[in-house]
Amino acid sequence: MDIQQLLNGVTLGSLYALIAIGYTMVYGILRLINFAHGDVFMFAGYWVFFGYFLFKLPWWISAVLSVIFTAAMGWAIERIAYRPLRHAPRISLLITAIGMSLLLEHIIIVLPWAGGIQKQFPQPEFMKKIFQVGGARVQAVTIWVPVIAAVCLLGLLYLLYRTKVGRGMRAIATDMETTELMGADINRIISYTFIVGSALAAVGGILWGCRYPALRFDIGIIPGWRAFTAAVVGGIGNVIGAMIGGFILGMAEILFVALFPAYSGYRDAVIFMILILFLLFKPTGIMGKALKEKV
């Protein structure tokens, strides 16, 4: 395996890690598989697209606005569709999330500036540069992606372990009722969770666009499922596990395609097989703790 493959794997892995964190944080707190998360990720690419081509903003301003708008979307989705169902059966929540996912996809199809056809994500010049590293030709984006992802992940760890909101998130994940009884504002902390998760997904979506510039309404689905698989592999509910799981999945995918190019059409089947096998035999993943069943 040469250095180029290795870098590709690391890049893909960091993208999966950025998305997987949103799944794992929401699952840790609400026990909800947020079906709409992959589509929030997809929307981030479109925000940049709108900012850059529609409003003619500079690329980096579009990117920053995209992160802000995507985070606001995450907040709004929780506020409108998930919060009213806080005390409903969990399956109702899952059905609403499925509805939200399809709604987001079809909003893009319906919008006249986007539509169901493929669009080109605006790649900035500094991402496109190519250099030589030890005989391999490397695009700047494969270096930028892991670096930016690492900064975001360190920031997240700081937020989780060194701030009050982060402590609140960890407290809710351990026991929501007790946290509420201690006087913490549950709703505010859950809103923050969605904002942080969506902002990270937005960073992931923008970087994804720089790496794979095809933009379409359904580009969030497959990366979303791979990232969800990464979250399960890493132990769902565990943020560090999600990062590790993301890297494992990214490397595994690049390896699979490199070793069995003839079977690359089956790689989604392989990903889902990994997901199902983990759910069946190691549902706590490699980092997670077993959840006790409440009687």
Partner 1 sequence: MKLNRILTLFALAALFGFIAWGDKNLDRFLWQVLNFGAIYAIAAVGYTVINGITGQFSLGPHGFMLLGAYLVTLLILPLEQKKIVWLFQPLAWPFSEFSLPYSGFILALIAGGVLAAIAAVIVGIPALRALRGDYLAIATFGFGEILFVLVVNLMSLTNGPMGITKIPRYTNLWWSIGALVVITYAAVRIKYSSFGRALRAIKEDELAAQSMGINVFLMKLVAFVFSAFCAGVAGGLYPTLVGTVSPDPFRFFMTFYLLIIIVLGGLGSITGAVVMGFVFAGIFEGLRILDTAIVPGMRMVFFSVLLILVMLFFRRGLFGESEFTWDWILGLFRRRRT
Residue 182 binds partner 1 (CB under 8 A): no
Alpha-carbon separation of residue 287 from 17, 188, 214, 232, 268 (angstroms) = 14, 28, 34, 10, 24
Q: Which of residues 266-285 bind partner 1 (CB under 8 A)?
A: 266, 268-269, 272-273, 275-276, 279-280, 283
Using the rule CB under 8 A, which residue among 56, 91, 130, 135 binds partner 1? Answer: 91
Question: Measured in Å, how far apart are the chain's first and last C-alpha atoms?
Answer: 50
Using the rule CB under 8 A, which residue among 61, 88, 133, 150 binds partner 1? Answer: 88
Residue 180 to residue 187: CA distance in whole angstroms: 10
From residue 95 to residue 124, the character string flagging contacts with partner 1 as x (rule: CB under 8 A) and all else as - is xx-xxx-xx-xxx-xx-x---x--------
Which listed range, 1-9, 17-25, 45-53, 261-269, lies at the site for partner 1 (CB under 8 A)?
261-269
258's torsion region: left (phi>0), alpha (psi -120 to 50) or beta? alpha
- Contact by Cβ (8 Å): 239, 21: yes
Angle at 185 between CA 184 and CA 187, to 5 degrees: 140
Residue 10 to residue 88: CA distance in whole angstroms: 40
Cα dihedral across residues 215, 217, 220, 221: positive or negative = negative
Which listed range, 65-73, 120-128, 204-212, 260-268, lies at the site for partner 1 (CB under 8 A)?
260-268
Smallest gap, in angstroms, from Cβ of residue 271 to partner 1?
9
Smallest gap, in angstroms, from Cβ of residue 230 to partner 1?
13
Using the rule CB under 8 A, which residue among 19, 25, 32, 63 binds partner 1? Answer: 32
Residue 205 to residue 236: CA distance in whole angstroms: 21
Chain residues binding partner 1 by CB under 8 A are 31-33, 81, 84-85, 88, 90-92, 94-96, 98-100, 102-103, 105-107, 109-110, 112, 116, 225, 228, 265-266, 268-269, 272-273, 275-276, 279-280, 283, 295
